[in-house]
Structure 1
Amino acid sequence: MTVTLITGANKGIGFETAKQLLELGHTVYIGARDVERGEKAAAELDARFVQLDVTDDASVSSALATIGSAEGRLDVLVHNAGILGSQVSDGPTALRMFDTNAVGIVRVTEAALPLLHKSSNPTVVTVSSSLGSFWAVNNPDRPEFNVPFALYSASKSAATMLTVQYAKSQPGIKFNALEPGTTATDMTASLGIGRPVEESARTVVRLATLDADGPTGTLQDENGELRW
């Protein structure tokens, strides 16, 4: 049975990804910062829960140790935890954005690598964004051209670059990032936009279930590889 950890999975795309992977027979660990919400989400899905705050080294280490003790390996890691901000206001705001959306990827990946190396088909998926694509934000024909989310975009550029660099440094593990599409979640509620999470989660699931010879080091959306 495939062992999967999804960060920030108590709601939104992460929750729906967990649901779809459970339906495919995965053993899914819901990683969530808030214990009450995480346990509730795991119980609703009949998944497993680990307390995991991607901005806290001790929390990350403890979560991966728990999975290692119970499973002995990790087959799929989905970096889903993230925050959205539309304004550049001050240094602490920028640090919080990058700590969650980029540095958190490093924390969790580094803690997970020993377990991923024990898998026969290790896969890492990062929920990034085409707002972090230099090609997209400079293309007047793309919707990203008119979205001024500077910090979020920059943090997602970092997330995609980390994906590419990990793919190069860890050739035995598939690392891919994705643009999930504008999705109706808590993050976008104030904007009043987005499609159902079920649709966006399908791209995450596709990349989380790649064969051993699948692609690595890419940024993709539902239609395939994106320039960035």
Structure 2
Amino acid sequence: MTTIALVTGANKGLGRETVRRLAALGWDVYLTARDEARGSAAAAELDVRFAPLDVTSDASVAAAADTVRRQAGRLDVLINNAGIGTPDIAVGDTRAADLRAVLDVNVLGPVRVTNAFLPLLRAAEHPRIVMVSSTLGSIDFTGRPHVRAAVPPQLGYPAAKAALNMITVQYARALDGIQVNAVEPGFTATDLTGHRGHQTVTEGTDVIIRLATIGPSGPTAGFFDRAGDVPW
């Protein structure tokens, strides 16, 4: 039976490469994006399905879930990849309003999507959820001297990814039979990093593909990068 997967925020970068690699495995993959023109063009190039999906919109997420329900009847793998960065604002100057967009996309987005697709995941024999996170959301990692020296303090993105990490663990605890894990792609050359990353998108998606393809005896409630476990 063909594995059915859905990737959010997948018209470019890590999301697009994840779709490409999963489709190369013979999977039936839904590429989703909030920009319908870019998303449908990317899906056509990769020869996969396209579903419009804006993770900040309840209606859009519900419509995408209904599309998958009608066309496939289940979802084996959900990859919550959509994410944004934050403006370069000093911590002391950051207002609550400055955090609204990053929290809506990076925290509430995965909750909206996961909740909407839960019935379809529960209809699968071996459902998995992969949350694309970051070590910038790891309190252990960001407290290390070399990170403190290299990464300026900021509120939005690290706080959002720390929240996503906790959400991952709580989903894993609560959703019996569904393996839920968080991943750190690494410093990858994408729009999010201003293409300054030293990794290619293929290298950045290695850990996403690994957790998407785990067997029933594989991990849940874990945080991983290409090398292995990542501290929370």
TM-score range, shorter-chain basis?
A: over 0.9
Aligned amino acid, residue 42 of structure 1 = A
CA contact (8 A) 1:60 1:111 kept: yes
Q: How does 1:212-227 map to 2 (within 5 A)?
A: 212-227=216-231
SS at match of 2:62: helix
Correspondence for 2:186:
181
Q: CA-to-partner distance for each residue in 1:4-35, whole Å, 9 max, x for gaps?
A: 00000000000000000001111110110000
Counterparts of 2:18 and 2:155, CA distance in 1: 27
Aligned amino acid, residue 224 of structure 2 = Q
- Give how far 1:140 is off: 1.2
Stretch moving more, 3-12 or 145-154: 145-154
Counterparts of 1:224 and 1:143, CA distance in 2: 22
Q: How does 1:24-173 map to 2 (within 5 A)?
A: 24-85=25-86, 86-87=88-89, 89-142=94-147, 146-173=151-178
- Give how far 1:211 is off: 0.1
Aligned amino acid, residue 76 of structure 1 = V
SS at match of 2:44: helix
TM-aligned CA distance change 1:79 to 1:143, over 3 Å: farther
- Give how far 1:147 is off: 3.7
Q: How many residues align?
A: 227
SS at match of 2:97: helix
- Give how far 1:171 is off: 2.0
Q: Which runs of 5+ in 1 are unaligned?
A: none
Correspondence for 1:7:
8
Aligned amino acid, residue 47 of structure 1 = V
TM-aligned CA distance change 1:161 to 1:47, over 3 Å: same
SS at match of 1:28: strand
1:211 to 196, 211, 215: 215
Q: Percent identity?
A: 47
CA contact (8 A) 1:131 1:144 kept: no
Aligned amino acid, residue 13 of structure 1 = L
TM-aligned CA distance change 1:142 to 1:24, over 3 Å: same
- Give how far 1:142 is off: 4.2
- Give how far 1:188 is off: 1.2
Aligned amino acid, residue 3 of structure 2 = T
SS at match of 1:167: helix
Counterparts of 2:154 and 2:32, CA distance in 1: 26
Aligned amino acid, residue 198 of structure 1 = T
CA contact (8 A) 2:188 2:196 kept: no
Q: CA-to-partner distance for each residue in 1:101-159, whole Å, 9 max, x for gaps?
A: 00001100000100000111100001000000000011114478634232100000011
Aligned amino acid, residue 37 of structure 1 = R
Counterparts of 1:164 and 1:144, CA distance in 2: 29
Correspondence for 1:202:
206
